Structure 1
Amino acid sequence: MKKSIKVLAPTGGMGSGLRQDIFQQALLEKPDVIAMDAGSTDSGPYYLGTGKSKSSAIVLKAELQTYMRARAELGVPLVIGSCGTCGSDAGVDLVRGLCLEIAAELQQTVKIAAIYSEQNTATVIQALADGRILPLNPVRPIDQAHIERCSRIVAVMGVEPFIHALEQGADIVLAGRATDTAVLACFPILHGAPAGPAWHAGKTLECGPQCTTTPTEAMVIAEIDDDGFTLIAVGDQARATPHSVMAHMLYENSNPNVLVEPGGVLNVEAARYHAIDEKRVRVEGSLWTTSEDYTVKLEGAAVVGYQSVLLSLVRGPAYIARFDEWLASLDQVMRKRIEKNLDIGPADYDLQFRAIGKNSALGDLESQVGQPVEIGVLAIVTTPQASRTQDIIALLNPYLLHFPLPDDKELPSHAFPLSPPSMDRGPAYEFMLNHVMVIEDPLAPFRFDITTTGA
């Protein structure tokens, strides 16, 4: 590699907001590429199931305009992965359409490469028949029926599709579902950076300033060279330490020394970290090993049923003190009522009660104790038919408003914060696939569409 490569990651997720003041400081570092992730499975299967974006188009356009201005001024590529939250074809088209609007408004001539990652159902079924679909832990069952149930399947790409698009002269690369790390490692690898430092730098940058000790006051740049990389925290108050940089290998990763990516494995067991100053951390010793088989992770989502929720609030010292007893009694009574009044068996519906304000996040793992003033009770009902879901919700309504403790002689009045207290969520989705697909060509599962504005 003739010179070091600077990768600017202005955010850990496009659409989450942009600090313009810090971004302008970061541009003074003269990055060679602006790259970022735009998606995640953190918010559940709905976005993949529907193909919709979590982010507002207005917010995305405002951020994209800033990035496209900066890209043009510096003459560097803009690389964005997992467009539209889930990396669906519609998500790529959404961001592509916004870029075309901005290019017209700014009178920019740019070459935009769109990379689509949605998979044809028949292709995945054939890969299963060929023995090229392998499970990840925890192992989930898979057969043709599971694949056919998925409303949408994406393959998670590595660096090769990005590199292919950049080699075609793309100024802006907009990718479907991709590993966060690949989005940031692709440009350095294309320009000759060693794979170990490039992948490790990408992993460190994937969540933007989360690898610093001042995530609300920083942006991050990784400068990669032949021997390693230097993490630079940009911003007046920005700070980074060896500990903050090292710790990011634990993020969404079960082994802090090993990271499995498409085409290989990053090993940082021998990596060494030291502080150059309060804003810069030097990392050396990261190693990359090419895998015998090239695999891409598959993500698929399917409709699990039709869902509605109902919210009630429980107050009063007696009901708060004996809340667990009250909720268990309510649950038992309602299940009997559903079977008796609606003739719906236990296998034909899913009913959950969430105690909002009482260990609803951690359950039995909660370590902080204290007596809440009120507890929100969220009933979640899912059945295969929307009408059946509504029947159960209607049956629940008066009970969540007036259900008493077993020894209470008077009917209490709990509180509905909304009118009506129930909300129809429509189709509910679940993740169906936790598998990888073995492929021979890293480009084969993906489709490319390259457009030059004004051409």
Structure 2
Amino acid sequence: MDSFRRALELEPDAIIAQGTSTDIGPAYLGTSRLLTSPAACERDLDLVVSAAVERGIPFLVSVGGGGNDAQLERSLDIVRRVAAKQPRRLRVAVVSGEVDRGYLEGKLAAGVSMPSLAPSHLIPPSLGAEHVREAECVVAQSGPEVVQQALSLGVDGVVTGRTLDAGLFAALPLARGFDEALSWGFAQVINDDGVATTPAGVSDGALLGILRDDHFDLVPGSPRVRCTRGSVLAAMIRERDDPEREAFCGGILDFRSVDVEELPDARSVRLRGFGWSPTPYAVKVEGVRRAGYRSIVIAGMRDPDNIARYDSLLDALREKVRTVLALPEDSYRIDFISYGRDGVLGTREPLRDVAPHEIGLVVDVVARTQEEASAIAQLVRSSVLHTGYPGRKSNEGNVAFPLAPPEIDVGPVHVWSIWHALPLDDPLEPFSMRVEEMGG
């Protein structure tokens, strides 16, 4: 990566990369699958670790996608392979954020209230012991304090499970004595990386942050992109329900007085004016429960007569499943996702009544078992192919299937069930850390 190498020429104090997120949905936490392939992880970690070791600076990375212990350990195997290529042995701090359910039940029994952080019907407004018991996996977002503790041990690098994205980037500035407003403001903007540049999303998009007493600069590594006032402000309000403030584990970051100055090189920016209001310390805990098993069918429809009666066709398919399989109606769910009509916006689609010339149909079935989900998908597949309608000229061919077999068993389905704040007197309490020597 040219941008990465160019950024290294400016002699950074650390190399930081975050690899955990909830943006990817609950499946990765529930199944412990890695977000990216081991080969891709190894390529990226090789770049990060090798560059850090060569320059004698720490690498700070969160790994695994969902960030549970299984993902952490699989990612550590990759780190060990990378470490084996280095010219000396490395001391690496390993931080686990997977939370034992007994720990949370003990907190609840002691009267600790854990309010929801998400306005969703899937998330209980206050965490209860029953929600903890039904969760398959729970992780806590570590704040910067865990990374700071690891750095105080003089390690070569820190590898964590689930971590607050901005916390990973705020750890070193806070450890070096920069004030909280500047450190968190820096962390909040730079953790979005290429999103703060234009054009946004360029894959070769390493971003360098330079902190000084009352401001920080953002310098893109790639000559193909630049930071502008607009691109940085857009990154600051991205994925926010409040464009002026962002709550973190120990305070609220205030954007209202931020000044973004475009620098003379026409590609870097300078930011100052962040505010910080301390709040009682709490970390976010994230958990998933199993909601069933999924099978899908993908089909294409182009016959105008069939499309004209599309809604009645879907009603007939639902009725066929209900009468033929006779399963309890609350034991399964069928969603018909209709691309070309309203597959993206659903009932909010303003052009829903405009007849499309074709429909791409995704049948999404979730049931109690994989066998039941598969049986429903197979019945829908055969029924959608052969169901008659006025004006039909043959007894089959209603749809075309791009894949064989048309029904695909996807596996377990997980949903977010814990998305709550865990109050803490000690920011390190839910997390465990060990130092491992590797490589050399």
Using structure 2 for the length normalisation, give the TM-score. Answer: 0.93
For residue 431 of structure 1, the aligned residue among 391, 410, 416 is 416
- 1:318 to partner: Cα distance: 3.2
Given the alignment of the two structures, is residue 258 of structure 1 paired with residue 245 of structure 2, yes or no? yes
Of stretches 23-32 and 271-280 in structure 1, the one that deviates more from structure 2 is: 271-280
In structure 2, C-alpha distance between the alignment counterparts of 1:131 and 1:245, rounded to whole Å: 39
Structure 2 unmatched runs, 5+: none
d(CA) in 2 for partners of 1:315, 1:201: 52
Give CA-to-partner distance per residue, 1:345-403, whole Å, 9 cap, x none: 32121111111333312224446788654322111111112222222122212112123
Equivalence for 2:340: 357
- Partner deviation per Cα, 1:67-98 (whole Å, 9 max, x = no partner): 112101221111112x1001111222122221
Query: Does the 8 A contact of 2:374 with 2:407 survive in 1?
Result: no
Give the secondary structure class of the aligned counterpart of 1:213.
coil
Residues in 1 aligned to 2:10 and 2:348: alpha-carbon distance in whole angstroms: 45
Q: Please say if 1:340 is aligned against 2:323.
A: yes
* Residue 144 (structure 2) aligns with: 159
Q: Which residue of 2 aligns with 1:5?
A: none
1:70 aligns with 2:51: yes
**Letter matched to residue 425 of structure 1:** V
Partner of 2:271: 283
Conserved in 2, the CA contact under 8 Å of 1:209 and 1:218? yes
CA distance in 1, matches of 2:238, 2:328: 42
In the TM superposition, residue 230 of structure 1 has moved relative to its aligned partner by: 1.1
> Which deviates more from structure 2 when the two are superposed, residues 191-200 or residues 127-136?
127-136
What residue in structure 1 maps to residue 426 of structure 2?
441
- Residue by residue over 1:400-448, the C-alpha shift from the partner in whole angstroms, topping out at 9 and shown as x without a partner, is 2123445647535121112210011121111111211111110000010
Tell me the CA shift for residue 181 of structure 1.
0.6
Q: Answer with 134-143 or 431-440: which moved more.
A: 134-143
2:82 counterpart of 1:102: yes
Aligned residue for 2:107? 127
Give the match's secondary structure for 2:115: strand
Tell me which residue corresponds to 1:12: none
Partners of 1:112 and 1:366 in 2: how far apart? 51
Question: 2:312 maps to which residue?
Answer: 329
Q: How does 1:46-195 map to 2 (within 5 A)?
A: 46-81=27-62, 83-129=63-109, 130-138=111-119, 140-141=123-124, 142-195=127-180
1:418 is aligned with what amino acid?
L
CA distance in 2, matches of 1:385, 1:452: 44
CA distance, structure 1, for counterparts of residue 5 and residue 171 of structure 2: 24
Answer whether contact 1:165 1:173 (CA < 8 A) is retained.
yes
**Residues 127 and 437 of structure 1 are in contact (CA less than 8 Å); yes or no, is this contact kept in structure 2?**
no
Q: Structure 1 residue 102: deviation in Å? A: 1.5
- Using the TM superposition, name which of 391-400 and 402-411 deviates more: 402-411
Q: Give the distance between the partners of 1:378 and 1:451, measured in 2 at CA.
A: 47
Q: 1:365 to 1:341 in 2, by over 3 A?
A: closer
User: Given residue 273 of structure 2, which amino acid in structure 1 is its aligned partner?
Assistant: G
Return 333-342 or 226-235, whichever deviates more: 333-342
What is the CA-CA distance between 1:319 and the residue it aligns to?
3.3
How far apart in 2 are the matches of 1:454 and 1:315? 59
Show the counterpart of 1:267: 254
Aligned to 1:202: 187
**What is the aligned-residue RMSD (CA, Å)?**
1.9
Identity %: 28
C-alpha distance in structure 2 between counterparts of 1:136 and 1:454, whole Å: 41
- Aligned residue for 2:402? 417
On the 8 A contact 1:103/1:110 being kept in 2, the answer is yes
Distance in structure 1 (CA, Å) of the matches to 2:74 and 2:335: 35
What is the CA–CA distance in structure 2 between the aligned matches of 1:144 and 1:334, rounded to whole Å?
Answer: 40
Q: Which runs of 5+ in 1 are unaligned?
A: 1-19
Aligned to 2:366: 382
- Quote the offset at 1:40 in angstroms: 1.6
What's the counterpart of residue 13 of structure 1?
none
For residues 3 and 149 of structure 2, the distance between their equivalents in structure 1, rounded to whole angstroms, comes to 31
Please give the alpha-carbon distance, in whole angstroms, between the structure 1 residues aligned to 2:347 and 2:88. Answer: 56
